[in-house]
Amino acid sequence: MKVLVADVFEASGLAGLAACGCEVDSRPELEGEALAAAIRESGAQILIVRSTRVTAPMLDAGRLALVVRAGAGVNTIDVAAASARGVYVANCPGQNSIAVAELTMGLLLALDRRIPDAVADLRAGRWNKKEYGRARGLHGQVLGVLGLGSIGCETIRRAAAFGMPVVAWSRRFDGADRPLTDDEIAALGLEAAAARVSIRLAPSPAEVAARCDALTIHLALGPETRGLVGAEVLARLAPGAMLINTARGEVVDAEALAAAAREKGLRLGLDVFAREPAGGTGEFTDPIVALPDVYGTHHVGASTDQAQEAIAAEAVRIVRTYAERGRVPNCVNLAGRTPATHRMVVRHRNRPGVLAHVFERLRADGINVHETENVVFDGAEAATATIHLHGAPSAATVEAIRAGHDAILDLRLVAL
């Protein structure tokens, strides 16, 4: 199986792909038309990327059957176009959670203790102990967390070690205004954190902002989260509050954030921005970084050696599973529920031509098959096929299927 790696990828990952028996073509500089040409010329069935954009023309260029994003999101991939072409899209969620949580805590500490400013003054030959000896400290400050996915939970575990009570909002608990239950704490893996500090749910992002001293954002980017942290939410933050964004720049209304920083003296720790250079290097002109008490990093939340090794290992696992079993772990574009209206269950002897007979009769009746699973019993003498149909076959078709092949043992049709 041919794999085209069109982005920076760990050496351990390349070795792992080769160990799977894959023919690996690693060209991390590819993008745009050059990438489309490489897909066409290489005949690759699998494409692995990190930040490189994957577009519909690229999906049309060759024989791709699987695109793997060696990272947590898939916002750089045209998932709708992949779905329309029957191309699997998978990602590597959770592998960088600890790295992003560590940077979140680093930015919180940097803001509270003004570490970058202190370093700059020392390098400029200025000693000012009185100025930098003033800090509130994180212990006892309430941390507001937007998003209780793996990164949000890893952040809570670390914040709890600093003695920071937590108030959180998550779409899975939308509208809740209460402490987490014991079962919810266990499901999120937050038992140790809850033993140290209180963890409470708020009914909205605005309520989290109103109740916290520092707000950290851990939301995936989507239509419902784009610009979610806007003027209404920012207005509820106390003057001088801290805000950390290590998620996506587009989750925050950039203009509203800059206005709130100026008017309320918010202290910002930003790893992501609304206007980032397309590549790894380039000119950066976002004016928000010129504001006082704004510290920034270069969208590097996931960029630790540990995280990249873990992501590479997960990407290799996805490819290996697909090559060996035809299944795709972490696939993001399979239908949760097909639009099927009926399910046909055919119990049959495991003989050639049985399913071809079933499908031919359905085709003749104009019935489309959405999904099929054929399970073979021990000994390989018999099997059961479960077929999801878009429409109900006629009684005559059902009878023709049942009586038209001597290997069919039973047939049931169920309306969904």
As a whole number of Å, the CA-based R_g of the chain is 27
Q: What are phi and psi of 246, to 5 degrees?
A: -115, 20
Per DSSP, 83 falls in state H
Sheet architecture: strand order including 368-376: 368-376, 382-390, 342-349, 408-415
How far apart CA 245 and CA 296 sit, in angstroms, is: 10
Q: What token pair was written down for 35?
A: 């990438």
Q: Which residues of 57-84 are buried (b: 16+ CB within 10 A; e: fewer)?
A: ebbebbebbbbbbbbbbbebbbbebbee
With residue 401 as reference, give the H or E element that holds it.
helix 395-403
How far apart CA 87 and CA 133 sit, in angstroms, is: 57
Residue 281 sits at the vertex; the CA angle it makes with 278 and 284, to the nearest 5 degrees, is 75
| Catalytic residue flag (residue 405) | no
Three-state DSSP state, 77: strand
Asked if 145 and 166 count as a contact pair (C-beta separation under 8 A), the reply is: yes
Asked if 205 and 169 count as a contact pair (C-beta separation under 8 A), the reply is: yes
Helix and strand numbers, DSSP H then E, in the chain: 16, 17
Q: What are phi and psi of 174, to 5 degrees?
A: -55, 130
Amino acid letter for position 348: H
How far apart CA 286 and CA 47 sit, in angstroms, is: 32
| Catalytic residue flag (residue 299) | yes
How far apart CA 321 and CA 339 sit, in angstroms, is: 27
Neighbour count for residue 101 (Cβ, 10 Å): 24
Asked if 311 and 95 count as a contact pair (C-beta separation under 8 A), the reply is: yes
Asked if 313 and 16 count as a contact pair (C-beta separation under 8 A), the reply is: yes
Q: Positive or negative CA dihedral for 287, 292, 293, 297?
A: positive
| Catalytic residue flag (residue 255) | no
Options 236, 299, 320, 388, the catalytic residue: 299
Options 207, 232, 276, 309, the catalytic residue: 276
Options 69, 157, 236, 248, the catalytic residue: 248
For the chain, the distance separating the N- and C-terminal CA atoms, rounded to the nearest angstrom, is 38
Catalytic annotation, residues? 248, 276, 299
